[in-house]
Structure 1
């Protein structure tokens, strides 16, 4: 017996042939796979490994054109807004101006109407007073004719027929006798006192003021004892007379007296005037 026989062997026990074959196959497969991978990586024609890439959406826009268009639109909107604001301001100004003009016109019309009303009222009152005074006088009162005034020869009223411009005035005035008295009337169918005088003088080509107050200041003052046909007679104060008429000669006058009598021819004694003026 060997002296080493009692020492156990250090060699591993042999594996069976079948297990060795399996292990050899596995190792061979691994080596084959590694070889193929190395060949693939070394080959220049090998396709690159695909990488996952996130693609951003492509904006197919012309940003410069869009910005320019937006600026143009904004500028146009601003211009239109400015124009609209200016038109609105002009319309408001026009409305304000029209309202002011309308108000002023209304005020002026009202003033004119008030003045005319006041004038008509004053004239009507004066006519009423004059008529009341005439009515209160009795037939045997203090009325006197111009002839009974005991005026010196040659200084009395003129009884000779009127001629020239005076004749035109007198004839027109007498032709209106019997027509109606209408306040504010200037003919041809009706007159008030100053309207009749104005129309009569127009026949002689003479323009007189419209109102009795102004007519009583026309021409030069004459004495009632030296009247001539065509002279203007007035009642009340000179420059503020409330009634006028036309002296037609023979101690008579023609005048538009009042609505109840109309246009009449009367003796001076019927209603003696305050004074007279001569325009001819």
Structure 2
């Protein structure tokens, strides 16, 4: 530790720190500027959006875009649908992944190595879009919300990481639970899962972001526009020239470009607000479970 501290206190170490900070700050600004432009554009008037090609602060603030969005029945239906699908889907996917990872973490599980081999194969080879669509169709899941959740219910990468984490837990905990009369389900629910909050919080975030941002699944499996999720609504608004679907007042057209920016902001901000609540688990969860094979 003393040697490392000395190395980073040298002139070369300080120069490295400065260069590192400058480069990372520049990359952060480059990534942030487009979002700031979209945010500013969502509060700008249509006249300003048509005359100014780029700005980070509108000359005149206007809430007409948000009024048009938030009073649109199609948008409200889409965002409620997305929230419910995200919550239910995250719980189902996390629960199924943990229930499969737990038995696979046992060294004496019959056929466990074969199953893990099949899981690893799916990391390299995938059935593809057409076979997946045919399976969803044959199962009768077309035009149902289950088609947005079940086809990707267990992610192979998440399964392997969670399995490795379970293997690192002390075996004495399970032995004590069995002595007290607990079965495997009770051991998983009352002992293993409470001790796995960092890894579960991390992958809950991954699953939630994936479901929230999923565009292909609704596009492929939902034929009814009344069942559209927020991403499908966002796509429809950003490519459509007719914005009557988000028109609050039939006598006044909403700002077309501002509507598009407002929908993007509303679709982005909620998932960003989740990060602060899971941040304390995020860094730890990414490292735990990734060491042991």
Note whether the superposition's TM-score is higher than 0.5. no
Instruction: Pick 1 or 2: higher relative contact order, CA cutoff 8 A, min separation 6.
Output: 2
- TM-score category by the smaller chain? under 0.3
User: Which structure has the larger Rg?
Assistant: 1
Structure with the higher strand share, 1 or 2: 1
- Structure showing the higher helix proportion among its residues: 2
**TM-score (norm: length of structure 2):** 0.24
